[in-house]
Structure 1
Amino acid sequence: MNELHQIAVLYAKPGREEALRDNLIALVAPSRDEEGNLRYDLYGDVNDPRRFIFIETWASAAAQRRHHEHGLHIRHFHENGDADVERRESFYVIEPIA
């Protein structure tokens, strides 16, 4: 199995933290229900309320691609909730080494 592990970091626009938090929370349950999802967790930075971190594991790159390109909840976020995002700080595809 070629699992895909990734971390995505987003920052809310000033004053839009709660709106972004709510929109990101709405992504979690439907993403976890998608075929090929093994982990889909959302974290908030305790030192910076504007920073949100997703930690995801997918059964394959194809499963992650289906999620990102075809998930109705993801498309809805990009059309609506994305307006609350100031920037995407980083996006990492990682692999376990120990």
Structure 2
Amino acid sequence: MNDFFIVIALQAKEGQEEALRAQLIAVVEPSRRDEGNLRYEMFADRNDPRRFVFVEHWASPEAQHRHHTESEHIRRFNADGAGAVEKIEFLYTLDRLA
């Protein structure tokens, strides 16, 4: 099986939570339409309004790489929204075992 998963948490800069939320929400639907995407979900942490978590499932690492490096919506986020990110709290790339 070539498919794999990504779980990533981003923390917004203080005071930029709503701006980051809007920018991240804007990439969800276009990302779901990217070739090789099987699941793309965004979550907000109930206990920390600055934390956003993505769960992604891709048909292959190559499909995820194309999404991350070639898709216009991710380029736009990197240009316009990434400045509201304080840090990536964690990033896991996972292979399904069972």
TM-score band w.r.t. shorter chain: over 0.9
Unaligned regions of 5+ residues in structure 2, if any?
none
TM-score by length of 1: 0.96
Instruction: Decide whether the 8 Å contact of 2:4 with 2:96 is kept in 1.
Output: no
Unaligned regions of 5+ residues in structure 1, if any?
none
Counterpart in the other structure of 2:94: 94
Counterpart in the other structure of 1:23: 23
Aligned counterparts of 2:97 and 2:36: Cα–Cα separation in 1: 22
In structure 1, what residue type is equivalent to 2:92? Y
Aligned residues: 98
Runs of 4+ in 1 over 4 A off after TM superposition: none
Aligned counterparts of 1:52 and 1:44: Cα–Cα separation in 2: 5
Deviation per CA, 1:17-67: give whole Å up to 9, x if none.
000000000000000001100000000000000000000000000100000
Please state how far the C-alpha of 1:95 moved relative to its aligned partner.
2.5
The alignment-based identity, stated in percent, is 52
Counterpart in the other structure of 1:58: 58
Aligned counterparts of 1:70 and 1:95: Cα–Cα separation in 2: 23
Aligned counterparts of 1:40 and 1:87: Cα–Cα separation in 2: 20
Aligned counterparts of 1:80 and 1:5: Cα–Cα separation in 2: 26
Aligned counterparts of 1:23 and 1:4: Cα–Cα separation in 2: 25
Counterpart in the other structure of 1:13: 13
